[in-house]
Amino acid sequence: MIHFVLLISRQGKVRLTKWYSPYSQKERSKVIRELSGVILSRGPKLSNFVEWRGYKVVYKRYASLYFCMCIDQDDNELEILEIIHHFVEILDRYFGSVCELDLIFNFHKAYYVLDEVLIAGELQESSKKTVARLIAAQDSLVETAKEQANSISNMIAQATK
Amino acid sequence: MGSQGGWGQSKEFLDLVKSIGEARSKAEEDRIVMSEIENLKRRITEPDIPKRKMKEYIIRLVYVEMLGHDASFGYIHAVKMTHDDSLLLKRTGYLAVTLFLNENHDLIILIVNTIQKDLKSDNYLVVCAALTAVCKLINEETIPAVLPQVVELLGHPKEAVKRKAIMALHRFYQRAPSSVAHLISNFRKRLCDNDPGVMGATLCPLFDLIAADANSYKDLVVSFVSILKQVTERRLPKSYDYHQMPAPFIQIRLLKILALLGNGDKQASEHMYIVLGDMFRKCDLSSNIRNAVLYESICCVSSINCSTKLLESAAEVTSQFLKSDSHNLKYMGIDALGRLIKINPEIAEEHQLAVIDCLEDPDDTLKRKTFELLYKMTKSSNVEVIVDRMIDYMISINDNHYKTEISSRCIELAEQFAPSNQWFIQTMNKVFEHAGDLVNVKVAHNLMRLIPEGFGEDNEGADNQLRSSAVESYLRIIGEPKLPSLFLQVICWVLGEYGTADRKFSASYITGKLCDVAEAHPSDDIVKAYAVTAIMKIYAFEIAAGRKVELLPECQSLVDELSASHSTDLQQRAYELQAVLGLDARAVESIMPSDASCEDIEVDKSLSFLDGYVQEALVKGARPYIPESERSGMSNISNFRGQVHHDSSTHGLRFEAYELPKPSGASRIQPAPLAASKELVPVSEPTYPQEILQPASVSSVSETGPTEFKLRLDGIQKKWGRPTYSPTAPSTSNSNPQKTVNGAPQLVVQGAVSSQAHDVSYDSRKTKVEVSPEKQKLAASLFGGWSSKTEKRPTSTNHKTTRVHSAAVEKSQMPTAAVASTEQAAEKESPQQPPLNLLDLGDPTPGDSTASIDPFKQLEGLLGPSDVSSVGNSAVTASKSADIMSLYAESPISGLGGTVANMAPTNSINLTSGVSNAANRNVPVGSASTQVAPVKKGPNPQDSLEKHAVARQVGVTPSVTNPNLFRDLLG
């Protein structure tokens, strides 16, 4: 099971966090501090795994962003590495050549994507197509809702003028 | 589409994100966030905030929380937002609450009602959003509130909903196994779902269920094998391919399940031989995902009752992993090796140099993994080298968690395999010295037990030698500064017990040392206590031996100081010491016998020595003692309490309308009061009968069976009732078998391995050329212990018969397995065979009605049935781009062209090679997506330009400090 997902920039800034196991706010900060210290200082040729407090953390660097997932002792690290890549590919499709900036300003959208990829700490859907379709469906609904909201607020604005 | 046309948030928010991005220090970032929190606190409570504005506030709260600050003041607004009718707001609300709230947060109760409503929604997207929230938020207590609806959703027409519902049930199972115990048939049914996504999701709960109790699922072995076979034969829709691998994530889950089912079960294992053999056939280390599947196959082989041939293939792959340049693969190779040597220790031999390379690798992760491997293969011949290495490593690291782990491993190995007492004591000293107080307290206590008990041999001499060498080494060490407290305790205890035992050292010398210890650690009461007790023992032994004792002056001052100590414990010890000094030799000997720490102290529980006194008192007219249970008033009280508790256990939080009064069932009540009464009622034992009577009488009244809803409340914690959580009682049927099933076979395996390790030894082969002599030496000391006797392998004929047998078995049960076993010729034919039903469960399910048609093919649509088997590689890549197009063909939104076109960057680092391969061709697309014109592929500068333009609008420009922000993650 995946206990949490972290996206950390090379400078140690947090870009996204998702916790599938209960951690208090204090623990979360501690975990992030500890792990970013360990992971960011690792050399490029070393393995993508870190043993940490009886868990394993699998990380992978894309451009300047580190994607980290914390898993149990008996999980398959290589599989998690591919789950990370799967997630990045879906992000890439969704944002169109995703870059760190997309995730900085659209972190909530990245959360929606993540929610379709992982659920309750497990890979939910391994078909990129299915995931993309679902997110698109949600977004199209949101778009129409937005338009409606816009038109309503316009009307209100005009009415109150 | 996400980034097209700006980011859609207000200027204010973008400015916030930007300023955080530009913050130069953590302090500056914190300052910005704090002022944002103040700002939000003020604004969010304003009346009549437009909903759109509110949504943005919520997202800003998420942002603040993500950066590690507390945004709990806004949680309630996020909760309110989930109540909104519009999906846009609801989705934001759900996102925020799932990020904010842990499963036991008080606000969850306010969301349950909304979730209930949303689970019934007509809009499947609303249902999806609610299910995602269910997975995160629903705790044991609220499971019954949503369970019926989630179960209902298993039959929802949308696959996504079904999938999420299964995952939600899986989560429920993890939280409270008993809550979904009656739903197991549903999981079995969903395994036959036409949608591979749903089937794949079902494997998650099934894995947990099988891990808990493998025996009840043995009938599924054939089905799992058949599914795995079909997946590897590419029978799933191409959209499940990942980097040219057919549905690897599903394969991995299946392999994990098979590993559980085949563990210690020869018959079940035999069903898997063929499909596992096929997994190893195509063994190239080209793609990472293939390696992941290969590794999982090795794990499966090492867990099941495997054949020699499979073991050989697994060993072959392992050696390829170890030979690879990639650290990741080496790591996996070491792990795999650790699994395989449990079956056959010989396998490690050819990899000795690789293992040593890994041990000396600068990568800490790899090093630790290797230590784990060494730990598994330690035996008396190599224990010294391995433990020395471990201790050296332990000294070099700062990670306390790992230090604790490795130190306890060292100690375990030393206790188990120590070649000599001297070495054992020295090793212990080193571990204690360097790991300090990280060493588990139990380890210290173990050592204190081990020294008096000796190593179990009936050789007093050797034990005495152990003790005197311990005393000597401790006297040498004791003066060193900064010894950890735990170690000092051991030292004091041993010196007190055995310091003067062999008359090598005088009592005054030892007591002097002990006084020094107590003086050097004025703030450590425990050490002082150990020291003063040790001093007392030394003097007691002296007195008992009839020698004259004089208290050293420093001793006297210590005793004086301690008798005035704030700690009553220390005071008492000091007074005891003084009292002992005043006694005669005979008395001292009986209260402080020498070397008697292992003798059992007999406690007369019935206080029979008081019988005479009691008799005397009775004769004098005293009233006889009445046991508590027989006192009538008391039993009434306990009965009453049991009643109260029993009520509270049934009336927890309710989520349904009141039902008609009905006598309730008995089965659910019995365990709870039993377990709870232990906490509540002081006199637990005697009151049992009455408490059991209580539910029993209820049950005799009840005529209708227990309602389903109530059954599920078993073992669920009552948050607002009394804290009477009793997990063991109701769920025994689930949890206990798990322990026994999991534990037993493992024990068996370990036992077998360790005996093998001792008895069977192997020739150490000559190390290869071009290896430094140092390494060779190390290799020899690590692996050299195996000599001459080679385990006789099962003969090949034997192996063949098992194979044939397994094939025969499969043939009888399932036609396709037979097809596969008749080698390649048959494989070519297989497409012409009538397509096989994936779900050969032999269980009348809806899936069976489509028995003659492959369900996945029906789903596929894009590719005709003949394509599936014949197209091969080209189809794989082709389908990839087909996916992309058909996907966007269904949701034509402006600006999409750019997105798709830009998706595949030209410089293909192997990460995206799959995508870019597909992208570089213009593939004729299947019938479903013909309306889409072939899209021009390659990097689209226009798209990035647009993105940059937006970024600049916001005010973010690529600069020296953030050049990477604009770089494509996949580029």
pLDDT tens digits, B778-798: 777 776 644 433 344 443 444
Please give the torsion angle defined by the CA atoms of residues A46, B969, B290 and B827, in that order, rounded to the nearest 10 degrees.
Answer: -170
CB B319 within 8 A of CB B280: no
CB B143 within 8 A of CB B178: no
Name the percent of chain B lying above pLDDT 70. 64
**Separation between Cα atoms, residue B52 and residue A153, nearest integer Å:** 10
**Chain A residues with beta carbon closer than 8 angstroms to that of B102:** 22-24
Nearest to A47 among B252, B327, B965 (CB): B327
- Residue B384 has which token pair? 């010294």
Binned at pLDDT 50, 70 and 90, residue B705 comes out as very low
Question: Looking at residue B941, what is its pLDDT?
Answer: 58
Structure-model confidence comparison of residues B528 and B843, the more confident one: B528
Name the percent of chain B lying above pLDDT 90. 11
pLDDT tens digits for range B508-561: 888 888 888 888 888 888 888 898 888 888 888 888 887 777 778 888 888 888
Structure-model confidence comparison of residues B334 and B782, the more confident one: B334
pLDDT greater than 70 at residue B942: no
Question: Looking at residue A114, what is its pLDDT?
Answer: 93
Nearest to A99 among B247, B939, B965 (CB): B965
**Chain B residues with beta carbon closer than 8 angstroms to that of A101:** 947, 951, 956, 965-966
Question: Which of A77-86, B179-188, B644-653, B710-719 shows the lowest mean pLDDT across its residues?
Answer: B710-719
pLDDT greater than 50 at residue B385: yes
Question: Looking at residue A102, what is its pLDDT?
Answer: 87
Question: Looking at residue B445, what is its pLDDT?
Answer: 82
Question: Looking at residue A4, what is its pLDDT?
Answer: 94
Question: Looking at residue B788, what is its pLDDT?
Answer: 38
Mean pLDDT of B410-420: 83
Nearest to B252 among A65, A79, A111 (CB): A79
pLDDT greater than 70 at residue B887: no
Q: How far is A74 from chain B (nearest CA, A)?
A: 10
Question: Looking at residue A80, what is its pLDDT?
Answer: 94
Q: Is B277 helix (H, G, I), strand (E, B) or coil?
A: helix
Binned at pLDDT 50, 70 and 90, residue B692 comes out as very low
Strand partners, A68: A6, A59
Beta strand ranges found along B765-845 (DSSP E): none
Nearest to A47 among B91, B328, B890 (CB): B328
Question: Looking at residue A82, what is its pLDDT?
Answer: 92
Nearest to A32 among B68, B132, B939 (CB): B68
**Chain B residues with beta carbon closer than 8 angstroms to that of A141:** 87-88, 125
Which H helix or E strand runs over A69? strand A65-71
**Chain B residues with beta carbon closer than 8 angstroms to that of A131:** none
**Chain A residues with beta carbon closer than 8 angstroms to that of B2:** 94-96, 102, 106, 109
Give residue B48's region: left, alpha or beta (phi > 0; psi -120 to 50): left
pLDDT tens digits for range B551-603: 788 888 888 888 888 888 888 888 888 888 888 777 877 777 776 666 666 77
CB within 8 Å: B197 and A83: no
Mean pLDDT of B303-315: 87
Q: How far is B472 from chain A (nearest CA, A)?
A: 37
How deeply is B737 buried, as exposed, middle or buried, from its count of CB atoms within 10 A (0-12, 13-18, 19+)?
A: middle
Structure-model confidence comparison of residues B810 and A7, the more confident one: A7
Largest CA distance in chain A: 64
Find where tokens 């003969």 sit: B795
Question: Looking at residue B336, what is its pLDDT?
Answer: 92
Question: Looking at residue B664, what is its pLDDT?
Answer: 52
Q: Is A16 helix (H, G, I), strand (E, B) or coil?
A: strand
**Residue in chain A nearest B89 by alpha carbon:** A142
Binned at pLDDT 50, 70 and 90, residue B964 comes out as low
pTM for the structure as a whole: 0.67
**Chain A residues with beta carbon closer than 8 angstroms to that of B4:** 96
**Residue in chain B nearest A83 by alpha carbon:** B249
**Residue in chain B nearest A150 by alpha carbon:** B52
**Chain A residues with beta carbon closer than 8 angstroms to that of B905:** 97
CB within 8 Å: B969 and A91: yes
**Separation between Cα atoms, residue B255 and residue B566, nearest integer Å:** 62
Question: Which of A6-10, B104-108, B127-131 shows the lowest mean pLDDT across its residues?
Answer: B104-108
Question: Which of A125-139, B459-473, B894-908 shows the lowest mean pLDDT across its residues?
Answer: B894-908
Which of B169, B365, B438 to mutate to test binding with chain A, by most A CBs within 10 Å of its CB? B365
Question: Looking at residue B946, what is its pLDDT?
Answer: 72
CB within 8 Å: A88 and B970: yes
**Chain A residues with beta carbon closer than 8 angstroms to that of B9:** 105
Q: How far is B138 from chain A (nearest CA, A)?
A: 11
**Chain A residues with beta carbon closer than 8 angstroms to that of B898:** 96
- CB count in 10 Å sphere of residue B13: 18
Name the percent of chain A lying above pLDDT 90. 45
Question: Looking at residue B656, what is its pLDDT?
Answer: 64
**Chain A residues with beta carbon closer than 8 angstroms to that of B969:** 62-63, 65, 88, 91-92, 98-100
**Separation between Cα atoms, residue B497 and residue B541, nearest integer Å:** 9
Structure-model confidence comparison of residues A137 and B5, the more confident one: A137
Type of residue numbered B296 = E
Binned at pLDDT 50, 70 and 90, residue B245 comes out as confident
**Separation between Cα atoms, residue B846 and residue B595, nearest integer Å:** 74
CB within 8 Å: A120 and B951: no
pLDDT tens digits for range B848-857: 444 444 444 4
Mean pLDDT of B651-673: 55
Binned at pLDDT 50, 70 and 90, residue B955 comes out as low
CB B541 within 8 A of CB B571: no
Nearest to B201 among A24, A48, A124 (CB): A124
Question: Looking at residue B576, what is its pLDDT?
Answer: 87
Compute φ and ψ for A5, nearest 5 degrees: -120, 135
CB within 8 Å: B365 and A51: yes
Q: ipTM of the assembly? A: 0.90
CB burial string B95-122: b at 16+ within 10 A, e below:
bbbbbbbebebeebbbbbebbbebbeee
CB A96 within 8 A of CB B903: yes
Question: Looking at residue B130, what is its pLDDT?
Answer: 92
**Separation between Cα atoms, residue A62 and residue B911, nearest integer Å:** 10
pLDDT greater than 70 at residue B419: yes
pLDDT greater than 70 at residue B831: no
List alpha helices for B246-307, DSSP H. Answer: 248-262, 266-281, 288-303
CB within 8 Å: A146 and B67: no
Question: Which of B207-221, B483-497, B799-813 shows the lowest mean pLDDT across its residues?
Answer: B799-813
Question: Looking at residue A5, what is its pLDDT?
Answer: 95
Rg (CA), chain A: 18
Q: How far is B57 from chain A (nearest CA, A)?
A: 12
Type of residue numbered B893 = I
CB B262 within 8 A of CB B305: yes
**Separation between Cα atoms, residue B809 and residue B572, nearest integer Å:** 75
Structure-model confidence comparison of residues B964 and B633, the more confident one: B964
CB A68 within 8 A of CB A57: yes
Nearest to B68 among A28, A96, A109 (CB): A28
**Chain A residues with beta carbon closer than 8 angstroms to that of B68:** 14, 25, 28-29, 32
Binned at pLDDT 50, 70 and 90, residue B910 comes out as very low
Mean pLDDT of B690-714: 42
CB within 8 Å: B292 and A76: yes
Which among B772, B751, B736, B21 is positioned nearest to B357, based on CA atoms? B772
Binned at pLDDT 50, 70 and 90, residue B628 comes out as confident
